[in-house]
Amino acid sequence: MPLTSPKEMFAAAYAGGYAVGAFNVNNMEIIQGIMGAAASEKSPVILQVSAGARKYAGQVYIMKLVEAALQEDPSIPVVVHLDHGPSFEMCRDCIDGGFTSVMIDGSHLPYEENIAITKQVVDYAHPRGVWVEAELGKLAGIEEHVSSAEHVYTDPDEAVDFVRRTGCDSLAVAIGTSHGAYKFKGEARLDFERLQTISNKLPGYPLVLHGASSVPQEFVALCNKYGGQVGGAKGVPEDMLRKAAGMGVCKINVDTDIRLALTASIRQFLTEHPEQFDPRGYLKPARDAVQNMVAHKIRNVMGSSGKA
Ligand code: G3H
Ligand code: 13P
Ligand code: ZN
């Protein structure tokens, strides 16, 4: 199967009350781990590439790796998506390079500027059959080009106006999640009332949740046991993500949990086998750890098993 558009994927997810996992990829092992999980769970999947990942691996390398994965398992619907596209130019390059979906992230811009840049990307993407995700509201925390000390939750009426005026296909909303491993100081809280209001005002419209890693404590403990210093890390509880998936959220983004699974495994292996230096020795269990974590997430968080 060639790469697919999120269109049918999200329509089925919306109707079925589940979400599709969007997992960040940087290299071969991460792609193989995610694809292995999607294949064993018979689940659709989104592989997403950040500006940083694109710079690290190169867009062509990533696309060729994805091509290889599709050849190996043609039965799984796969979307390749630009995560947090910082400019029209990068969105255009990804569209021209075969991505089936891009995000233009104008969330840090004044409202009218966010509308203008999103519309510019939509006008380029739609005639080429490419899906556009945009973002309204600000997640607290730091991304490569966006830094916000405070959450600015998405205003439901603005969301309706934004979607109508830009024509974007899906919208990332800010309801209390944040990027990285340190999401909550005290108890985890998401603004479900706001999510429900947005969803009611945009019936049938797919919403996106960024910053949705759960930060499994077993990976944090393993990292710390084997020399890491990942103190006080806390993620979004799985039951909250499951709930969001039934409220119009069709795409749930996960990057941090992949980093934790991979790093915990490599730390453990290298500590337990100090004499070994063949990268295959530690990358194989690390790839397995990513696969197991993603399979768990597809089954228990996304609810997308068997939907391929
Ligand atoms: O939302 C951010 C993603 O986790 C990507 O992170 O920019 O470090 O690749 P990155
Ligand atoms: P996490 O840092 O919670 O994994 O979020 C990833 C994300 O939103 C990528 O866009
Ligand atoms: Zn994000």
What is the CATH classification number for the domain harbouring 230?
Answer: 3.20.20.70
Contact by Cβ (8 Å): 195, 205: no
> φ, ψ for residue 137 (rounded to 5)?
100, 170
Ligand 1 near 24 CB (within 6 A): yes
230, amino acid identity: V
Cβ atoms < 10 Å from Cβ of 12: 16
Q: Is 103 within the bounds of a domain?
A: yes
CA of 137 to the centre of ligand 2 (A): 15
Ligand 1 atom at minimum distance from 179 CA = 1
Average pLDDT over residues 43-65: 98
Q: Which residues are catalytic?
A: 83
Q: Which domain holds residue 46?
A: 6-301
Residue 136 lies in a domain: yes
Domains held by the chain: number: 1
Position 306 in a domain: no
Q: What is the DSSP letter of 299?
A: I
Of the ranges 47-61, 137-151, 219-233, which one carries the lowest mean pLDDT score? Answer: 137-151
In a domain, 308, yes or no: no
Between the CA of 292 and the centroid of ligand 3 the distance, in Å, is 22
Q: Which residues does the annotation place in the binding site for dihydroxyacetone phosphate?
A: 180, 211-213, 253-256
In a domain, 12, yes or no: yes
Query: Mean pLDDT of all residues in the chain?
Result: 96
Residue 152 located in a structural domain:
yes
133 within some domain? yes
What is the per-residue burial (b if ≥16 Cβ within 10 Å, else e) of 43-58? bbbbbbbbbebbeebe
DSSP3 helix / strand / coil % (the chain, rounded to 5): 50, 15, 35
Contact 23, 255 (CB under 8 A): yes
Per-residue pLDDT tens digits for 128-177: 999 999 999 999 875 545 556 678 999 999 999 999 999 999 999 999 99
Question: Residue 140: its pLDDT value, please?
Answer: 81
Band of residue 190 on the pLDDT scale cut at 50, 70, 90: very high
- Tell me whether residue 257 is in a domain: yes
